Amino acid sequence: MLFDYNTLKGKNVAITGATKGIGKATAILLSSIGANLLIGSRNAEELDKLSATLQTKVIPQQLNVEDERSIINFLNKGIEKLGKIDALVNCAGYGSFSSFLELPVEQFDRMIAVNLRGTFLTSQHFAKHMMKNKRGQIININSIAGAAVLEGNAGYSASKFGLLGLSRVMQLELRKQGVFVTSILPGSTNTPFWDDIENHPEKSKMIPQETVAKHIAAILCQPDGAVIDEITIMPPLGIL
């Protein structure tokens, strides 16, 4: 068997953006496999609800990736309760779509702050912790919008193209310290991300969020001897 989920039993995995979409699906799957979790989200009430449904040791901690102090508190809580963090899955994200000429600067700034700066800060603090253990994994959930340009995606693509570049530098620098970084670029995925977006693609044609979670789990238990740097996951019909 190429990917052995049993290797995740007892591992300590941190997930940002854990109460919605890919983050939530990943938390549910990893807990069912046997991983212990540190889960973060802005919504403390939803964190507690999710924690109550999971099967392993779960540490919920309110998290705002735009706030460096909040990130540090998130990491410290995980270390305090779990001892160490073996892997980080960066799922926190924000998207707003309109034409380049009509995109409000406030929305542009927030996409950069959450998708790029937030992932940078979270990864930086967790990577320093992992380096002390000489081993760790970071998975950055990007988007097909980080590799292909689409109309109405100016701010979102800017943040995700930036994230792809950041992730590639992280791969080069951190692998020397035993910390491996993987970028996942999903196409349209059936998550609550689309709920406030008009004229979105038909959700039944999108990738199920549980499918992306399974890819994340596979990457977290990849066998020794090779590393997955980057994968693109697309709906069967391609870009919708």
Flag whether 240 is in a domain: no
Is residue 238 domain-resident? Answer: no
Q: Is 176 exposed, middle or buried (0-12, 13-18, 19+ CB in 10 A)?
A: exposed
239 inside domain: no
Q: Is 50 within a domain?
A: yes
Looking at the structure of the chain, the number of domains it has is 1
Confidence of residue 223 (pLDDT cuts 50, 70, 90): confident
What are the tens digits of pLDDT across the range 67-117?
999 999 999 999 999 999 999 999 999 998 889 999 999 999 999 999 999
Does residue 146 lie in a domain region? yes
Domain of 108 in residue numbering reads as 5-233
Count Cβ atoms below 10 Å from residue 129 Cβ, excluding itself: 18
Residue 158 lies in a domain: yes
Asked if residues 57 and 48 have their Cβ atoms less than 8 Å apart, the reply is no
**Global pTM exceeds 0.85:** yes
Contact 66, 116 (CB under 8 A): no
Q: What is the pLDDT of residues 140-199, one digit of tens each?
A: 999 999 999 888 899 999 999 999 999 999 999 999 999 999 999 998 888 877 777 776
Which of 120, 156, 161, 193 is catalytic? The answer is 156
26: three-class secondary structure by DSSP: helix
CATH number at residue 136: 3.40.50.720
Evaluate whether residue 192 is within a structural domain: yes
Q: Is 94 an annotated catalytic residue?
A: no
Examine residue 81 and state whether it is found in any structural domain, yes or no.
yes
